[in-house]
Structure formats: structure tokens, C-alpha cells
Structure 1
Amino acid sequence: MQRYCFCLQVRPDRLDEYVERHRDVWPEMQAALREAGWHNYSLFLRDDGLLIGYVESPDLDAAQRAMAATEVNARWQAEMTEFFQGTDGAAPDESFQLLPEIFHLQED
């Protein structure tokens, strides 16, 4: 399983609504993510809108392609696009910047 971290920028004027939307992510979206190979997926949001995502997957490219093929992801991305800066109108899941892992504390 590979670990991936990414960042995006949420519009500061939309932070509260963005958080609210993630309090009740559609069950069919959650199921699609699991089926596509997204594991231990978390989002963290700083008060200036910096969004950090963490996900584990055997192959993130394959997991993204699998999600792109679903109707529920198309609906979710269409609703989420307006919350982000710097994506030039592209879907957030196609616009995030992957961050390289530079340290990982191994379990004993």
C-alpha cells in the first residue's frame, strides 16, 4: 500500500460550507471511493483554506481513473469545483498537487 499526500486551496469565503458538505458525504460517494481503491482517506483544513489530503492506495493513478469512470464522482466534483482556488475550473480530484513523502516512522 502506498501513502499519498496532496494539497489544494479552498476559497476562504467558502470554508464553512465546505466543512458542512463533508459532514455528510454521500454514502454512494464513500462506497465508490472504497471500491476504487482509496483507503484511510482523510482531509485536513487550515483556517486560511489550505486543504491537505492523505490517502493510501496500491496505485493512486488507477484509483483516480476508477473514480473518474463513476457517475457519482462526476456529480460530486461538479459540486465541489466552486469551492477551490487555482484549479482553473478543473475538477478538484484532477487538480491537486501531490507532496513527496520525506519521512515515515516505521512501526516496530
Structure 2
Amino acid sequence: MSTQRFALALDLKDDPKLIAEYKAYHKKVWPEIEASIRDAGIDSMQIYLVGNRLFMIIETNDSFSFEQKSKMDESNFKVQEWEDLMWNYQQALPMAKPGEKWMLMEKIFEL
């Protein structure tokens, strides 16, 4: 089974109180959310923060596709509830299209 790695970015609202709350939620992610991530074919996920910029790395197996993950999320009430809650803390990147949240980053260097 091959592994793919993707990097994505998103901003948080630039408010220390909101950023602290967002970090607290991610110390205890709902089990249904963790299950939905694994069920989509994501084997590993890490989120980093600098200032109000989030950077996510996901490692996926052969069963993963962004399209399938999106379909699964749309039909999962708990995922929709989580996404709505997280949007209270998140804000789109300046170059994002309307409704676009996490944006796929282009790898420009590897050693």
C-alpha cells in the first residue's frame, strides 16, 4: 500500500482568545471526527500553528480521495456539526474562493 502526503493551509481569526479555544478543541477532538478521518483513508494528520496560520499535513493510503472525503463529510451529521463549530474560529485564506476552507499547498522543495 502506498502512502501520499498532502499539505494544506487555513487561517484562524486573529484573536488570542479564539485561538486558545481552537487549540483546546484540538486537544480532545470528538471521537466521531477522528473515526471519519480514518474511515476516509487518512492514516496520519498533524496540524501546526504559527500566528493565526494553520498548516496541516495528512498522510493517506490508497483508498483516499479528496472527492470521496468531501462526500463522506457532507453526509455525516457530526462532521457537519464539527465543521460549523470550527468555522467560528477559522477564516478563509485571502486567495480562497467563496466557501473554500483548507487549501491544498504546492510542494516546491524536497530534500
- Asked if these proteins are the same fold (TM beyond 0.5), I'd say yes
Structure 1 segments of 4+ aligned residues over 4 angstroms from their partners: none
- How many residue pairs get matched? 101
Q: Which one is further off, 32-41 or 53-62?
A: 53-62
* Structure 2 runs not aligned, ≥5 long: none
Contact 2:13–2:19 (CA under 8 A) maintained in structure 1: yes
Which residue is 2:30 aligned to?
26
Q: Distance in 2 between matches of 1:12 and 1:98?
A: 21
CA contact (8 A) 1:33 1:67 kept: no
TM-score when scaled to structure 2? 0.78
Structure-2 change in CA distance of 1:2 and 1:83 (3 Å): same
Whether the 8 Å contact between 2:91 and 2:101 is mirrored in structure 1 is no
Q: Give the secondary structure class of the aligned counterpart of 1:101.
A: coil
What residue is the counterpart of 2:67 in the other structure?
Answer: 61
Deviations along 1:21-77, one digit per CA (max 9) or x if unpaired, are 11100111111111122221111011x210001112232332232222211111100
- Distance in 2, Cα, partners of 1:55 & 1:37: 10
Corresponding residue number in structure 2 for 1:86: 92
CA distance in 1, matches of 2:13, 2:69: 26
d(CA) in 2 for partners of 1:15, 1:61: 29
**Partner of 1:95 in structure 2?**
101
* Aligned-partner SS, 1:12: coil
Corresponding residue SS for 2:87: helix
Is the Cα contact below 8 Å between 2:45 and 2:59 reproduced in 1? yes
Report the TM-score, using the length of structure 1 for normalisation.
0.80
